[in-house]
Amino acid sequence: MKKMLLSTLWMVLLMLLWAGVVLFGTVGGWFHQPIAKSNTAASFLEAVDGEMNKQFVGNFAMALMEDGIVEDEKFYSAGKPVDRHTVFQVSSLSKWISAVGIMKLVEDGKLDLDAPVSNYLTRWQLPPGEFNNEGVTVRRLLSHTAGLTDGLGYSGFETGAQVQSIEQSLTKATDADEGINGEVRVGIKPGSEFKYSGGGYTLLQLLMEEVSGQSFASYMRENVFIPLNMLHSSYVWEDSSGLALAEFYNKDGSTAAHHLYTSLAATSLYASLSDLELFFQMFLKGKNNEPIGRNVIKPETLAVMREPHGQSMGVAIWGLGTVLYATTGCNDFIIGHDGKSTPPVNTAVRLNPETGDGIIVLETGNPTIATKLASEWVFLKTGKVDTFLFPMLMDGMIRSIGLGWILILVSTIVFTVWRRRKS
């Protein structure tokens, strides 16, 4: 009996050890092969072609940045051609740009990062609940640590007549993604943990309107887009703008409807590749001594936006409106944001503030390829598995752990039977 217990104990310890090795190795990128043969733009572009040939992509625009300068661009379309001035709806990538507008209000003394948002709101208030709503602050909304449990996820509306008011959407979003309640309320103690909340950014949208006295779209246009010369960007689409909008596609290659949103700040930015290159460059010192922030926002504010606030499994993953993808050599972070919505839109930006290197990917018709390519770029450049690549590797990790456990179990049984027969 003792020998059986000892064998079982050793088996469990070996299983735990194997699981730990596989987990650590996956996080460290030990088992992951880069998609490109070498660390060059040409090699990466070749790998991109290979990835796109494997699956349907409707429209695609990508920029590779080196030292803050556009190194190369790539475009693809299943229908009408797209170029660097074609406008894409960028889904949740909107949040990163929206956060700059909020931080501009903080700089101007119109918002306090740590004051209760209820101090500024007159048109709508968070419903009472188990936890104190006074703990919901701008800082916590920006970093998804305000305790909101809406889990939004917006699917949008196919006609303008269906679009809710901000207040209606915050009370219960009728365009919530499938399986999501859509009510914006505090269900976790504010400040206690990270919980992604699209509703938090709709609340920030309302906050910006209340504090600025302008519509959200107007404030962003006047205070961010025009100063940065982002002339192809808006949070509200106007057919009369004269700009070309990238077509929308379903995963099967059929064309899809253009959806409209109440949740502008969370998911409804329209921007071109050329405009996002300008936004990217705002985080860097320009070649002609243009300052970080381009006189739109202070360098110190941009630095604060990438300070860790939200964590998952003990790893810093979120700043103020900014995803923290991987650490850099000087303990800074590769930053940016991704976007994903239905019908499939997938967008991604990765920016290394230390080197000025990065990637911007915009696409329609495929739910994951922009995120995959951007995360693969991080791995190629740094050898690190970033915040969004790790979930893509989890299936392989689980399979490896499972196969290892089976081998350990079978080996233990064989060894136990052999030892009994020998004795």
Q: Please name the residue that has the structure tokens 């004795």.
A: 423
Q: Assess whether 11 and 55 both reside in one domain.
A: no
Q: Assess whether 289 and 405 both reside in one domain.
A: no
Q: Which pTM was predicted? A: 0.94
Q: Tell me, yes or no, whether 13 lies in a domain.
A: yes
Q: Tell me, yes or no, whether 392 lies in a domain.
A: no
* CA dihedral over 55, 77, 92, 65, signed as positive or negative: positive
pLDDT value, residue 384: 92
Q: CA–CA separation, 111 vs 359, rounded Å?
A: 32
What is the DSSP annotation of 2-70?
HHHHHHHHHHHHHHHHHHHHHHHHHHHTTTPPPSSSSSSHHHHHHHHHHHHHTS--SEEEEEEEETTEE
Q: What type of residue sits at position 241?
A: S
Burial classification of residue 149, based on how many CB atoms lie within 10 Å of its CB (0-12 exposed, 13-18 middle, 19 or more buried): middle
Residue of 233, 329, 335, 228 whose CA lies nearest to 286: 228
Q: Tell me, yes or no, whether 35 lies in a domain.
A: no
* CA dihedral over 75, 80, 84, 89, signed as positive or negative: negative
Q: Assess whether 97 and 119 both reside in one domain.
A: yes
Q: Assess whether 167 and 312 both reside in one domain.
A: yes
pLDDT tens-digit series, residues 206-231: 999 999 999 999 999 999 999 999 99
Tell me how many helices (H) and strands (E) the chain has: 12, 10
Q: Assess whether 259 and 185 both reside in one domain.
A: yes
Q: Tell me, yes or no, whether 185 lies in a domain.
A: yes
pLDDT value at 423 more than 70:
no
Q: Assess whether 171 and 277 both reside in one domain.
A: yes
> Domain count of the chain?
2
Here the CATH number for the domain that contains residue 71 is 3.40.710.10
Q: Tell me, yes or no, whether 270 lies in a domain.
A: yes
Q: Assess whether 9 and 45 both reside in one domain.
A: no
pLDDT tens-digit series, residues 67-117: 999 999 999 999 999 999 999 999 999 999 999 999 999 999 999 999 999
Q: Tell me, yes or no, whether 33 lies in a domain.
A: no
pLDDT tens-digit series, residues 277-306: 999 999 999 888 899 999 999 999 999 999
Phi, psi for 209 (deg, rounded to 5): -65, -40
Q: Assess whether 24 and 45 both reside in one domain.
A: no
pLDDT tens-digit series, residues 161-200: 889 999 999 999 999 998 898 999 999 999 999 999 999 9
Residue of 197, 245, 24, 8 whose CA lies nearest to 95: 197
Q: Assess whether 247 and 115 both reside in one domain.
A: yes
Q: Assess whether 412 and 326 both reside in one domain.
A: no
Q: Assess whether 152 and 18 both reside in one domain.
A: no
Q: Assess whether 409 and 365 both reside in one domain.
A: no
Residue of 90, 56, 77 whose CA lies nearest to 361: 90
Q: Residue 380 is part of which domain span? A: 41-384
β-pairing verdict for 323-327 and 333-341: antiparallel
